[in-house]
Structure 1
């Protein structure tokens, strides 16, 4: 009679046999070792890996050092047409947000929530067709928030459009580090305060200029205006930098490799967005060129944001105090243009020197799709 371990019994499998060299009656091998079943493709003679993310036929990946204006290439899903669709998403969204802001301002007028304004909604139509808005913005907190808030709305519109379409992550619009470098931003704010505010004011004082407050606002109204300036101006200036230095520089850099295009092209658009007189607009052009160049040289928006925020805070505060005309509708001089040229140029030189000393990164290493070859043929190009 056969035993259960008889190797010739047909229903038994090798797993039922005792381990080789084991004593008679030992437990079968399956009690100690789980039989390993290889994956069906493990022994395939020519395995085909999945292509990398964003791969297109006729392209291969190269490791490149990307300047700020080329950061859209750091997203493997990026494409030349995406900035256009991004604008097509952001522009209607900005229009909707602007209409909501108009409705909010309408109710402020209707309910008489701002003592500096008439409780008459028709004021909105009258002011929109004249220069009253800019005049009232220096004494009415609601008008100031409406005027500068309409610019600040570019930030959420661009943010939503970029979250939908990319480039991703969102932080690529801030710097090559993929985020806002807050310590570097604070350093740049200090440099702006010294080079663009303190030194020019001291220079003007030596030449005989006198900055004497002449506001007619009551104390409560003055405090309300200064609070509105502190809360709204930084967001407004940040939004402008996101569009003119962030979106436009990276869009142009998507199509044109040389940084000069990304620095120069947005500057006249930035100038035309400010309805000043001749020397005032030329001063804005100088600021736009300086902001674009320093953004490229430092690999991020921080220096440009600092320049814009501190400059606007000073201009609006002086306007509310009656010491200057921040809107420069008339009365700007060639001296103001020269002052802007010198102060912005000095700021650029000092920021470049400080950035080099602090080791601020200017580029980002990324795998970029280029024409030619196969997806597995990556090379290192620095």
Structure 2
């Protein structure tokens, strides 16, 4: 026995070594098996230059998966606020809000929010109105000017300042409609403009080219057949013309976004069948638009109803608000230009004392029918997209609200 402890290990006899002693391991080679895959390397290759480390919390890519192509971002994580808000099938304009997350109470909540936004906008519109008064008066007798203006507004005696303030309030209906639908239904405001998801400017231009000649002939024939009772221009006629050009297109758009866009989509979401959505939304739109002008005269109400009915059908037929906005804007601009240039400004606004006649109703209805027929025809020629269609298999779960990065 060796005098040392532990005893040395004989390299030629490792089996005889004590059980606790380290045994040197000799590499063993085996013959390759035919058809077997190449051996897997036991080491990791160095990370190529330019690669970023995997973010914390991400699972490693499973074996056999190819790396993501350059430029690909990770898919957005679905959440209860964004998942499934958009329609999961083809929808007409009045049914744009009938997605998987539709609830019967959402239109009511959207109406409440739209009212809050519109009232807040009316309050904020006082600020530019006050600034308008300061510029117009130069600061002289400013309190008296304010008192006169609010008295005129209450009695529908609209001058340049009142026209400015009234237009601001109607323009505010655009964000009121879009934001209320976005916040409550989780559908982006661009789908209030059209089923294509945005305002189609080229289609609007085409509509204007069609309807402008119709209203030029309409206003021109009216001026030839019947002169306005008051032939005097308003004192601020130059400023009024500027306001008409700058603000009236947006004022007309504001009315269309609410009375056609918001009403058709919210009321239409209550009906499962597209035809019922169109009928229900159109009835509410016609009644609300006619009543909002404040005239009890049956011929005035009938003219407003024909106008609203035409705009509702155009919105449904073209899948968006562009055609209705074109008709509304051209009608208002032409009417305002006529009464400012040739007299009759005090009768330009519909109120409780406005009176109509069967003859005027017949002419208004004829003009609406002609414009409606021409735009319907042009929509077919232009192959306008009239229904919403999901982009692909994942469209039903695509986020309807922007996800913060």
TM-score if structure 2 supplies the norm length? Answer: 0.70
**Residue number in structure 2 paired with 1:172:** 191
Matched, 1:96 2:120: yes
The unaligned stretches of length 5 or more in structure 1 are: 8-16, 43-50, 368-374, 377-382
**Residue number in structure 2 paired with 1:14:** none
Q: After TM superposition, list the pairs within 5 Å mapping 1:211-290 onto structure 2.
A: 214-217=231-234, 221-256=236-271, 257=273, 258=276, 259-276=278-295, 278=297, 279-290=299-310
**Residue number in structure 1 paired with 2:54:** none
How many Å apart are 1:293 and its aligned residue?
A: 1.0
Q: 1:359 to 1:114 in 2, by over 3 A?
A: same
Structure with max Cα Rg: 2
**Residue number in structure 1 paired with 2:349:** 327
**Residue number in structure 2 paired with 1:30:** 42
- Taking the aligned partners of 2:87 and 2:129, their CA distance within structure 1 comes to 52
Which one of 357, 361, 369 corresponds to residue 385 of structure 2? 361
How many Å apart are 1:3 and its aligned residue?
A: 7.3
**Residue number in structure 2 paired with 1:348:** 372
- Taking the aligned partners of 1:281 and 1:118, their CA distance within structure 2 comes to 42
How many Å apart are 1:97 and its aligned residue?
A: 2.0
How many Å apart are 1:94 and its aligned residue?
A: 2.0
How many Å apart are 1:244 and its aligned residue?
A: 0.7
* Residues paired across the two proteins, number: 331
3-state SS of the aligned residue for 2:269?
helix
Cα contact 1:127–1:133 (8 A) shared by 2: no
Q: 1:164 to 1:331 in 2, by over 3 A?
A: closer
- Taking the aligned partners of 1:20 and 1:79, their CA distance within structure 2 comes to 67
Single out whichever of 242-251 and 118-127 deviates more from structure 2: 118-127
TM-score if structure 1 supplies the norm length? Answer: 0.73
Q: 1:30 to 1:94 in 2, by over 3 A?
A: same
- Give the alignment's Cα RMSD to 1 decimal: 3.9
**Residue number in structure 2 paired with 1:13:** none
How many Å apart are 1:272 and its aligned residue?
A: 0.9
Deviations 1:304-359 (A, max 9, x none): 11111111111222232243432144353221111111111121122111111211
Cα contact 2:211–2:326 (8 A) shared by 1: yes
Q: 1:302 to 1:108 in 2, by over 3 A?
A: closer
Q: 1:261 to 1:355 in 2, by over 3 A?
A: same
How many Å apart are 1:169 and its aligned residue?
A: 2.3
How many Å apart are 1:211 and its aligned residue?
A: 7.3
Matched, 1:311 2:326: no
Cα contact 1:152–1:235 (8 A) shared by 2: yes
Deviations 1:116-153 (A, max 9, x none): 9983435545554566764342xx2x221112211111
- Taking the aligned partners of 1:28 and 1:107, their CA distance within structure 2 comes to 79
**Residue number in structure 1 paired with 2:98:** 73
Deviations 1:154-181 (A, max 9, x none): 2223333334334422211011111111
Cα contact 2:178–2:192 (8 A) shared by 1: no
Which structure has the higher relative contact order (CA within 8 Å, separation 6+)? 1
How many Å apart are 1:108 and its aligned residue?
A: 4.3
Cα contact 1:18–1:28 (8 A) shared by 2: no
Matched, 1:87 2:137: no
**Residue number in structure 1 paired with 2:175:** 156
Cα contact 2:177–2:261 (8 A) shared by 1: no
Deviations 1:176-199 (A, max 9, x none): 11111111111112222122x123
How many Å apart are 1:302 and its aligned residue?
A: 0.8
Which one of 24, 27, 35 corresponds to residue 6 of structure 1? 27
How many Å apart are 1:303 and its aligned residue?
A: 0.8
